[in-house]
Structure 1
Amino acid sequence: MLCFPNAKINLGLNIIEKRPDGFHNIETVFHPIPLCDALEIAESDSSEQYEFTSSGIPIDIAPSENIVIKAFDLIASNFKIPSTAIHLHKNIPFGAGLGGGSADAAYMIKMLNDFYELGMNFQQMEKYAVQIGSDCPVFIQNQPVFAKGKGEVFSSIQLNLSGFHIVLIKPDIHISTPEAYSGVNPKKPQKSLKELINLPLVEWKENIFNDFEDSIFPNHPELKTLKKELYELGAIYAAMSGSGSSMFGIFKEEPTIKESWKKHFTWSGKL
C-alpha cells in the first residue's frame, strides 16, 4: 500500500501563555498543502517486526528513532501486526515548520489501520497520533482546522483557498525549539485567530501574524528579507510556517520564481 503524506502550513500562530508543564498554549490554523513524501508498506517474511528503508532527503537517525517507526511501534503494541516492510521517500524538508515528520507518522497510523483492517475511527487514530506529537493528529482528517492548546485541540472552520497558488522557500537555516521560544512574549490577542481567519484574504496581511517571527527574524534576517520579497512579488499573504524556517506566500496567480530563491529549497503549487 502506497500513500503520500502531505505537509501543512500555519496560517497565523499566536503564543497565548506558558503552561505549568513547560509547554505553551497557542492558537493557529493548520492548512494542508500538496507537498508530499511517499510512504509504502507491505507484508514481510522477515523474522523482525519491521524492515525499514528510505530514499530522497537523507535521514541521519537510527530507524528506531524515526517518527514513522515510533508510530508503527505504538500501533503494533496495541494490535497484532505482522512483520511489515516500510519504505519512506523523504521530500518534505526537515526543520521547516511544515510538519513533514508528523504527517509521515499520522499516515503510518492510517495505513496500518486500512492495510491490516484494524477498524479504528478518526477519533481513535487521533488519540494514538497525539501520543507521537502535538501536530500529528491534524493529519488524520487532513483538513483546515483551528487549533489551540499545544496545537492538538481542533475546531472546524470554513476556509477555502482552492485555486490560489503557494510558493514555499526553505533556506538552509536550522531553528531549534528552545531558540524559537527564547524571545517570545506570550500574550492573548485582542481577537482570536478563529475569528480573524474569516476575514477576506486581502486583509490577512494587516491582521494575522506568526508570533515566532518577532523572536526569530532578528537572529535570521534572511527570513525577514524573504517575506518582504514574497510581498514584492505579489503575495496576498506571506508568513513563516510554525517555528520556521520555511517562508510561504499565497498568490492569486502563479508567480515566476525569483532566481535568487533557487539556491534554497523552493516549491510552488496550487492549493
Structure 2
Amino acid sequence: MSHANPVWNWQSSYPAPAKLNLFLHVVGRRVDGYHLLQTVFRLIEPGDSLRFSPRSDGRVGLTTPLPGVRADDDLSVRAARLLQAEAAALSRRSDLGVDISLHKRLPLGGGLGGGSSDAATVLLALNHLWQLGLRRERLQEIGLRLGADVPVFIFGRNAFAQGVGEALHALDLPERYYLVVQPAVNVSTGAIFAAPELRRDTPTIGVDEWSAGFGGNDLQSVACTRFPQIAACLDWLSRFAEARMTGSGACVFAEFAERVLAEEICRRVPPDWRAWVAAGLARHPLHALAGDI
C-alpha cells in the first residue's frame, strides 16, 4: 500500500500499523524480572489510526476512550504527556496540548502491538506537529518507557530485536501477505510471561543466522494450554500453511506470497473467529517524520 510523500498536518489521519512476531524466543531473564528476547518484528497493515487537534491550555484529552481503560492509563495519553515533559525540559513551549481521537481496529490482547503502535504514532506525529525536532533515537528512548514494543514502531523498519525488544537491527523482508485469525479470547501478556512452565533458556542466535521459517514462539505452548481456543485456531490454520501465534496471543497467522490465496482461505475461517488479510510493510508510513537512523 502506497504512502508516497504525504503532507502530514493537523488535518491528517495518522496510521498506526500492527506487528507480527515471525519468531519469538525467550533467551533469559534480567535481575529486575524483565525477560530477554530474540524476535523478528514484521510491520503489517491495516492497523489503527489517530487524529489530533491542538489545544493551547497544555492539557491532553482523549476523545475516544477505550472501554475499561482510564484515560490516564491509556498509552496514547501517556505518550503525549511524556513528549510534553520532554518539550518542557528542552525549554520549549509549556502550553502544548492536544486532543487525541483514536480509531481502533486492532484487538486488545491480540499480540499485534496495537497499543504500543498507537503510542509510537503519538510520539512521531506530535514531534512533527509540535515542531520539536527530536531525533528518532530519542523518541525510541521515550517510547521504551511506555513498553518494550513501542521502539520498533518508531524505528520504523522490520527488525531483528534483542534485549527486552529494544535492541533493533533493520531487516529487508520480501513482499508477503498474512492471514491473521483472532479467536474469541483476550490474553494477558503479564500472565503468560509469569507462567512457571515458560521456557526461559532458548539458545541465542546471531542476526545473520535468522532466515524465514526459523524458530517458533516460546509463549505459544503456554497460551495454548491456558486458552484452548488458540490451539484450535492454530490447528485449523495449519491445514493450509505453517501457522504461528504472534506475541503472547491471542492472534495467530500464516504467511503467503500471494494475496489472492490468503483471501481465499480467509473466506473459509469459521464464523466464531475474526479474520483478515494484512500486507507486510517495508517501512512504517510515518518513518520520514523522524530523523534518519
Bucket of the pairwise TM-score, normalised by the shorter protein: 0.7 to 0.9
Give the percent of matched residue pairs that are identical in Structure 1 and Structure 2: 26
After superposition, the C-alpha distances for 1:177-211 in whole angstroms (9 at most, x for unaligned) are 3431202121132x62734433xx4xx1xx42001
- Match for residue 209 of structure 1 among 213, 216, 222: 216
Shift of 1:35: 2.2
In structure 2, which of residues 165, 177, 180 is the aligned counterpart of residue 151 of structure 1? 165
Which residue does 2:235 correspond to in 1? Answer: 228
The size of the alignment, in residue pairs, is 257
The equivalent of 1:113 in structure 2 is: 127
Is 1:17 the counterpart of 2:28 in the alignment? Answer: yes
Corresponding residue for residue 39 of structure 2: 28
Match in the other structure for 2:179:
167
2:59 alignment counterpart: 49
SS class of match (1:28)? strand
Q: Does structure 2 retain, via aligned residues, the 8 Å contact 1:169–1:261?
A: no
Amino acid corresponding to residue 208 of structure 1 in structure 2: G
Partner SS for 2:134? coil
- Counterpart in 2 of 1:180? 192
Structure 2 alignment gaps of length 5 or more:
1-9, 88-92, 281-293
RMSD: 1.9
Alignment of 1:48-197 (within 5 A): 49-54=59-64, 58-79=66-87, 80=93, 81-157=95-171, 159-162=172-175, 164-181=176-193, 182=195, 183-189=197-203, 192=205, 194-197=207-210
TM-score, structure 2 as length reference: 0.82
Runs of 4+ in 1 over 3 A off after TM superposition: 258-262
Quick check: 2:58–2:96 contact (8 Å CA) kept in 1?
Answer: no
Is the contact made by 1:6 and 1:103 (CA closer than 8 Å) also made in structure 2? yes
CA contact (8 A) 2:60 2:81 kept: no
Structure 1 spans left out of the alignment, 5+ residues: none
Return the offset for 1:160. Answer: 1.8
Give, in angstroms, the shift of residue 219 of structure 1.
Answer: 2.3
Supply the AA of the counterpart residue of 1:146.
F
Q: State the TM-score, normalized to the length of structure 1.
A: 0.88
